[in-house]
Amino acid sequence: MFMLVELEDVVRIPPDQFGRPLKEVTEEILKKKYESMIIPELGYIILLNEVKPDPVGKIVPGDGASYHQVSFRVLTFYPKIQEIVEGEVVEVTDFGAFVRVGPTDSLLHISQIIDDYVTSDTKRGVITASQTKRILKVGSRIRARITAVSLSRGESIGKIGITCRQPFLGALEWIEEDVKKAKVEG
């Protein structure tokens, strides 16, 4: 789930940056600190904007910098267990596929792709189901359910597990086929 979140922080402006516009300097410092990191309560920090520094800063004895209270907004991606997401297969491995969901890759384990025996051809980037002959390949768009989430503070990579082993999940072309089949039978 994507969210816009309002945050506040205190930013240290080094003396060598005093001649530059305060908003520009605080935005650069905050982007280095927050963008592309994980905060477990918020998820993946994707983008920082609407930076509003307090023009009146504080000076600490022994430090030539000024400290400013700043409010700003961040765009976050917080994956929730049981959430339905769509993504693109970006890599096929012997143990499954990696699917780009939001700003990160999630693992679709080989046992969670389809209710069928599957074989994986990593050189061609293809996973094939033996009975249904359905194919999942690099570039396939899929719909899946999030089954596991592990986010650690400060890391840029969390762990997300997904499944397609439920009705109307899987490659989008599989879902279209299943919907047409359900309409004919219904």
Tens-level pLDDT at each residue, the chain (186 residues): 899 999 999 999 999 999 999 999 999 999 999 998 888 888 999 999 999 999 999 998 999 899 999 999 999 999 999 999 999 999 999 999 999 998 889 999 999 999 999 999 999 999 999 999 999 999 999 999 999 998 876 565 778 999 999 989 999 999 998 898 888 876
Topology classification of domain 2-77: Dna Ligase; domain 1 (3.30.1490)
Amino acid at position 3, single letter: M
Topology classification of domain 84-179: OB fold (Dihydrolipoamide Acetyltransferase, E2P) (2.40.50)
Q: Domain spans of the chain?
A: 2-77, 84-179
Other beta carbons within 10 Å of 166: 13
